[in-house]
Structure 1
Amino acid sequence: MRTRRAEYSESTRQALVDSAVDLFTKRGYAGTSLDEVVKRARVTKGALYHHFSGKQALFEAAFAQVETRSIESLTAVVTGEGDAWETAVAGLRAYVRKCLEPEYQRIIVHEAPVVMGWERWREAEEQFSFGLLRTAVQLLVDAGEIEEAPVEIMARLLFGALSAGASTIASSSDPKRTGREVERAILRVLEGLRKK
C-alpha cells in the first residue's frame, strides 16, 4: 500500500511533467523557463529539483510521457482485432494523425533531436517506437500478407521512412495535406511488399 507521502510525491512529479509538456509544446525548450514550469505546476523549485536534476531531465520526462501515450494508442490499433493488413493500414493512419498533434510535432520531432542530441534521441525513439513497428511487420509476415523477408531489416527501413515522414509533416506549411501525401507514399511502399 502506497503512503500518502508517496502519492503526493508522484502527483507532484506528474504535475511538473504535465506542465512541462504544455509549455514545451507552446514555447519550445529554449522558450520555457523552469520558473514557468513550477508556477504552472503550483509547486516549488525545490520540488522540481527533488524529482529532476534540471531542465534537460524534465524535458526527457516530458518526451517519455508523450511517446508512451502515443505508443499505447498506436499499439491498441496495430494489435487490435481484425485482418492483419487492415490493422497495419489503420496503424499507419493513426501514426500520421499522431504526427499532426502539436505536442508530438514540437516535442518528439522538432525539439528532441536538438535537446537530447541526435544519438540519444534515436536511441529513445528506438526504445519507444521500433518494437511496435517490428511487431506490426511480423504480424503481416505471419498472416502471409507480405513476402517473407528479414523482419528486422524490413522494420528498420520502414522505421526510417516513418521518421522521415514525421519530420516532413512537422516541417510543412500545410501539415494536413503533407500528412495525406506521406500516408499515401508509405502505403504504396507497403503495397509493393504485399503478396500478389
Structure 2
Amino acid sequence: MPEGTGAHRQEVELHPARPCEQPEDHAERPRWQITEAIPPDGADLVAVMSCAVEAWLDACETPEVRRIVLIDGPAVLGWERWRAICQAHMLGMIEAVLAQAAEHGTLLPLPIKPLAHLLLAAADEAALYLNASTDPDTACTEIMQIVDALIRGLTRV
C-alpha cells in the first residue's frame, strides 16, 4: 500500500458524504446537482430517471468527481467498501423514485430493490463508458438514448 494511503482511507471513511454537501449559497452549487435536475412533480418516471442519469454523467465529467468516483474511491477503499458508500447514497434515492412511480401506477409491477440495483449498475457503467470515450458528446447522446429506451420499457404507457 502506498505511503499515506491509510490516512486517506481513514479520512474518506470518516466523511463519506462530504462530496455531496451543498454550499449555503445556491449560486455556488454545481450545475450537476442531481436533486435540482429532477422535475418538481416527480410523477414522470422517464423524466426523473433521465434527468438524474444526465446529471450523474455531467458530474462524472468534472475532473474532481471523475477522479474520486471512478478512479481513487474504489482503488483506495476497496470495491466492497466503495460500493457500500455509493449504495448508501444513490440506491435509496433510486428506490424512492421507483416506489413513487409504482405508487403513481407508472412503473410496471416489478420488484423495486433488484430493479434499483440494476439501474444503479447501468448508471455506473454509463459513467465509466463516458470516461473512456474519445468522443464524450456522442457517447453521452447515445447513452441518454439508451437510458430513455430502458426506462420507457419499465413504464406503463
Deviation at 1:81, TM superposition (A): 3.0
Q: How do 1:1-196 residues align onto structure 2 when only pairs under 5 Å count?
A: 54-60=7-13, 64-68=17-21, 73-78=33-38, 80-81=40-41, 83-85=43-45, 86-196=47-157
CA contact (8 A) 1:74 1:94 kept: yes
Mapped partners of 2:14, 2:104: distance in 1: 37
AA at the equivalent of 2:50: V
Partner of 2:26: none
Instruction: State the number of aligned residues.
Output: 146
Mapped partners of 1:63, 1:100: distance in 2: 20
Specify the SS of the correspondent of 1:122: helix
Deviation at 1:115, TM superposition (A): 0.9
Specify the SS of the correspondent of 2:110: coil
CA 1:68–1:138 in structure 2 vs 1: closer, same or farther (change >3 Å)? farther
CA 1:68–1:134 in structure 2 vs 1: closer, same or farther (change >3 Å)? farther
> RMSD between aligned alpha carbons?
2.7
AA at the equivalent of 1:73: Q
Deviation at 1:82, TM superposition (A): 5.1
**TM-score, normalised via structure 2 length:** 0.77
CA 1:57–1:189 in structure 2 vs 1: closer, same or farther (change >3 Å)? same
Mapped partners of 1:133, 1:127: distance in 2: 11
Deviation at 1:67, TM superposition (A): 4.1
- Structure of higher CA gyration radius: 1
Moved more, 154-163 or 164-173: 164-173
Does 1 or 2 have the higher relative contact order (CA < 8 Å, sep 6+)? Answer: 2
Where does structure 2 lack aligned partners over 5 or more consecutive residues?
Answer: 23-29
Higher-helix-fraction structure: 1
Where does structure 1 lack aligned partners over 5 or more consecutive residues?
Answer: 1-29, 35-52
Partner of 2:27: none
CA contact (8 A) 1:67 1:108 kept: no
CA 1:164–1:173 in structure 2 vs 1: closer, same or farther (change >3 Å)? same
Percent identity, aligned pairs only? 22
Deviation at 1:57, TM superposition (A): 2.3
